[in-house]
Chain A
């Protein structure tokens, strides 16, 4: 019986646990609550995915109110996979959080951190499960506001500035989104996504619909940091607490991309031809610019977290590139990369956070010579880095393979060439870390230390193992991604 309410529980549990953490003034108890909740989430998400794969999309009516009057939660392959990613990352980072936060956040503030983290988790999961456009906005704001605060809790004072930047841009994004939803509501009188998709074609060429589409697209692109709207991201990732960076980098932008897919394909696809929704020439140009610009910027960063943040902007470019191809194969490639990039970037940020654990921001100088002191950490960085480059046997390779195949299937030679050629940039920026860590002498003034605590190392390496595992066994990721792509394109599974 309880399994029927999994879609609601997926959101409600973290949402209710958040205030509990806030009132528990003890940081260990708060951590325990967050840990239990985070561990429960993947089971719920996994169960939902299994059910979707077995029996098709799930519709869940909150309070049994029938849509379009009540709020509907609707889960198909696309958001089920996203739920698995978000909740999986949440579960992996929680054991890591305790030790890492002890060094990075004043103890009395930690219960607040866990409360905010759970709110953010609830918001992200909520955006993924809901089938109601306004509900999306509500969860978007929950997730955004809590993530501004998570970022502001970073120990570097520049975190405040970064958080403020993100606050301004994020709010614009969210506002644009809700304005867009408002326009759609104006024209159709419904907020239910499935219903919107049915009713929009009747209002197809009315200006408010077009304006609504534009507002939604730009608003979401701000949240997912598509070049040139990525300005907030590098600072936010660089100065947030390590755990928060890993969590947000692996999940937050991914959920925004999912929303974009949902609106482009589920809501608008029947109203406008795909070419009119995204205008491939502009879309692909922006994606390509994101890849080239952000990869080059990554090469010139001294702060490793900033470098990885720029790399995220570039990787988002690969995802949007896949969307821009516009075929089932391209869309599968994008969805696979959403998952794969979440795993590998999560792993990298956790590993780098292990170096930050011993104080100081992680600069090239700080990382020099760490290969000897933290061999496991650096081995993990090498493997996850190989994945960023796209070495076979890693998830990065799977993504690249799908992207190139999708480009070739459309006969877009130049795009295939572009995808493989830009991988070289990833060799350069990941190579810099490896070279510094293994072949440069350690900074004499730096504190001497070994590996990070086991409770941090194990989760980080777990994600590295996932990078390799999902690089060799793509049954879960690629097959579900293909299903999701078919679902979004409105084809039979």
Chain B
């Protein structure tokens, strides 16, 4: 297969799976088999493209003209390659985990769940490989629409309310701000193609560039920049694998990926840095990353704490884009991958705790390390990575970011990054400490006795697919620490102009 065909296949595989899954409605094993097979096939397809991109190839598909000058087109570039690799790999793990979680909790409507998941992944691949703003926007909206049913999966009043917020904030912002920005770029620059070095230089004045950046930064509400972050904590009502999808694989990652991609290929980092149009965004991002960390610290619900932690971590990537230097963009790109692995591990652990012990509040999680040693060990590793402490992969991306903030002589930003890291440690480590070093109260183990196994103090882990999945991602966090140079090599060409 030529690389261009493989790019199309990467989108077609999950789309095909979405059509096949409903046919296996009555055979759960076949249905999940299709999901897993599609996930593996997609990853193989995406991975087969990586060597070419590393070697400097930039394959592109043909264009389908929708409006004059507006085309549907896919093309490969390093940042999209990285995002596609991360998302497609994590889909495999997430599917494995979903099987354990959805069956373990007897969730209803599993078929439509897997269908929406597959569509969401197809949309994610489309975002990763889009060659221009229009294509990107098309898949961006598709991703919102396909994840909406997942957010309201439980169909409780709370879930429906969260879904409303989700749709209104994401589609509303994207149509009002993002689309305006896109059309503005098309009208002024005559095209919306992603080109190294950007396309707005010369077409926009410095002041207009600042406005345009604001339209993009807030229009892409998937990046959850404050004050457009409310949908993310609200969406926590969804089943945990959905949260993992939202936080690590697709949705928010797509958001920050889009921002980074637009900074690099639409604005061009040199142009953006020279106009100073992004300085305000640095401070908004810095405020978001500190504020969200503080809010996370105050949350007792584990998933809510993780959600605000995500808001904070996303702001790192937005900050990377706003700094608009070579090292910051590389750091931002790396952070997408690092945070994806760290956060998915943490969500998997939260879901495992819920599945095995039916606990959601951190204050209830005393001593659970003894019941769930593997889970809590992996939680520890994931937390290390998100905090940016060795041997977690997040160390490198934070290092790059802090260095680029220092390079830019913006020590307030350096201070904000350091403060946030401290806050990260402050809200993650007590969970770990409580799980391992505080004994489990009796009353809680009585609650656990209501569960099918009925053991009091023994090991009581989540179903094995969950356990395998979270072990893989935790191992991934460590691997990324060791092999960070590979990611660096992949996305380093990002900053080359030609």
- Enumerate chain A interface residues (CB-CB to B < 8 A): 386, 389-393, 398, 400-402, 404-405, 408-409, 416-417, 420-421, 423-424, 427-428, 431, 435, 438-439, 471-474, 478
Contact = CB atoms under 8 A, between A and B. Distances in A.
B183 A435 contact: no
Contacts of B68: 478
Looking at B70, B155, B159, B171, the one whose CB has the most chain A CB atoms below 10 A away is: B171
A408 B160 CA distance: 37
Interface residues of B, number: 32
A471 B172 CA distance: 20
Interface in B337-361: none
A157 to B, nearest CB: 35
Nearest to B188: A408
Tell me what chain B mostly uses at the interface: helix, strand, loop, or mixed.
Answer: helix
Contact of A391 (B72, B141, B187): B141
A439 B160 contact: yes
Contacts of A391: 141, 145, 171
B419 interface: no
B175 A473 contact: no
A423 B176 contact: yes
A408 B184 contact: yes
Given A404-B180, A408-B183, A427-B167, A420 B67 contact: no
A406 B163 CA distance: 34
Contacts of B171: 389, 391, 424, 427
Nearest to B187: A408
B176 A421 contact: yes
Contacts of A435: 160, 163-164
B482 interface: no
A431 B164 contact: yes
Interface of B: 64, 66-68, 70, 72, 134, 137-138, 141-142, 145, 149, 152, 155, 159-160, 163-164, 167-168, 171-172, 175-177, 179-180, 183-184, 186-187
Contact of A420 (B134, B142, B175): B175
A428 B164 CA distance: 9
Contacts of A423: 175-176
Contacts of B176: 417, 420-421, 423-424
Nearest to B152: A439
B138 A393 contact: yes
A450 B17 CA distance: 26
Contact of B168 (A402, A428, A472): A428
A424 B175 contact: yes
Contact of A474 (B67, B141, B164, B186): B67
Contact of A472 (B72, B164, B179, B180): B72
Contacts of A473: 66
Contacts of B141: 391-393
Given A398-B67, A427-B171, 7 more contacts: A392-B138, A417-B180, A420-B176, A421-B176, A427-B167, A438-B149, A439-B160
Contacts of B155: 439
Contacts of B164: 431, 435
A424 B168 contact: yes
A375 to B, nearest CB: 10
A402 B187 CA distance: 11
A390 B182 CA distance: 14
Nearest to B141: A391
Looking at B134, B137, B152, B180, the one whose CB has the most chain A CB atoms below 10 A away is: B180
Question: Which 8 A-B pairs rank lowest in CB-CB distance, beginning with the nearest?
Answer: A392-B138, A424-B172, A404-B183, A420-B176, A423-B175, A391-B141, A408-B187, A439-B155
Nearest to B22: A375
B172 A427 contact: yes
Nearest to B172: A424
A390 B163 CA distance: 19
A382 B70 CA distance: 25
Contacts of A405: 183, 186-187
